[in-house]
């Protein structure tokens, strides 16, 4: 540049894409079952715009019963793993998640389960 920066001008522009997770189906309704009987369903987790590997964590709700006891009747299983991986074509592979519910005491629940990556997105 020879101490004359006015001859060279560089303009950069870009778009920042934040990683996100979508779900199929977008909400979940489990059927009522008798006490101590498991009900379960499968959801697909669809990661988008992850440029490096990450791992999905799940925060399951703890429920308070009428007698004051606290239970966590939900469980999750990732049969093919919890890692978000970048494919060679630049896309992220979907993750399969089995969600199940079982309770030995009567309970109903409407609320959220939180799925986060290692950066708390």
Q: CA of 97: how far to CAs of 24, 31, 64, 69, 88, in Å? A: 10, 18, 25, 28, 23
Where the chain has pLDDT below 70, the residues are 1-8
| Fold category of 20-116 in CATH | Immunoglobulin-like (2.60.40)
Q: Residue 116: what pLDDT? A: 92
Domain coordinates in residue numbering, the chain? 20-116
Q: Residue 78: what pLDDT? A: 97
The Cβ of residue 106 has, within 10 Å, a number of other Cβ atoms equal to 8
Q: Residue 38: what pLDDT? A: 95
Q: Per-residue pLDDT tens for 93-119? A: 999 999 999 999 888 888 899 999 888
């Amino acid at each position: 540049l020879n101490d004359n920066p006015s001859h060279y001008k560089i303009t950069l522009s870009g778009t920042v894409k934040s990683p996100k997770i979508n779900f199929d189906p977008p909400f979940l309704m489990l059927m009522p079952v008798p006490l101590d009987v498991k009900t379960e369903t499968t959801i697909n987790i669809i990661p988008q715009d992850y440029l490096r590997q990450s791992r999905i964590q799940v925060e399951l709700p703890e429920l308070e019963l009428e007698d004051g006891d606290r239970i966590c009747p939900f469980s999750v299983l990732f049969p093919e793993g919890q890692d978000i991986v970048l494919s060679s074509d630049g896309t992220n592979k979907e993750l399969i998640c089995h969600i199940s519910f079982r309770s030995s005491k009567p309970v109903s629940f409407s609320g959220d389960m939180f799925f986060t990556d290692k950066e708390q997105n």
